[in-house]
Amino acid sequence: MDSIIFDLDGTIWDPIDTVLNAWNSCIRKHSQIKKELTRTDFEGTMGLQMHDISKKLFPYLSEDARLKVITECCLTEQGYLKVQGGNLYPNVEEVLKILSNKYKLYIVSNCQDGYIESFYEFHKLDKYFFDYENPGRTGLPKGANICLIIERNNLSNPIYVGDTEGDLKAARYAGIPFVYAKYGFGQVSEHDEVIEKFDDLLKRF
């Protein structure tokens, strides 16, 4: 094993409280949206791309209206995350520091362009990662973005750490082992390794 590619939400941090405040502050401006979002609403969207998130959260809006709302929400969200951050899981930085001395570390997340940068800006963890990718930048699904990271960085034996069935499928698409972050937001049908908490990575690898 020469490298570890991480999912972000539900794997490295829980950003939902900050994101929820950002999105609700935005949707209050739209009279066609009658109900504020809840944490449960967001937990049900983890691992999805933005187009699918908009359909799940606002199924009663037209496609044009959904696009407008979600674009505004994402821009607002980035501003909130840059100044408030999210909730890092316990011992994340300590574990990343140790792992980065043994392996090259990367992030591939199903997020919009600018989201990972906001995570980096607040939590100052970019120094531990060599590269990152997301569909907001490439237009590609997660599995293809994992392949991009592998090709771009000449990785020979990476693993992927994530918390959803979508993460599992992306790792299988890329042909690499999947480590299930059981403490995250999702359930998976299978895995190659499982961690109960983030610092279990030090015991496994």
pLDDT in tens, 96-154: 999 999 999 999 999 989 999 999 999 999 999 999 999 999 999 999 999 999 999 99
Q: How far apart are CA 157 and CA 65, in angstroms?
A: 43
Paired sense of beta strands 158-162 and 178-181, if any? parallel
State pTM to two decimals.
0.92
Q: What is the pLDDT of residues 49-73, one digit of tens each?
A: 788 888 999 999 999 999 999 999 9
Question: Above pLDDT 90, what percent of the chain?
Answer: 87
- Contact between 38 and 24 under an 8 Å Cβ cutoff? The reply is no
- Cβ atoms of 143 and 174 closer than 8 Å: yes
Helices (H), 33-107: 39-43, 50-57, 63-84, 92-100
Q: What was the pLDDT predicted at 109? A: 96
8 A C-beta contact, residue 106 and residue 132: yes
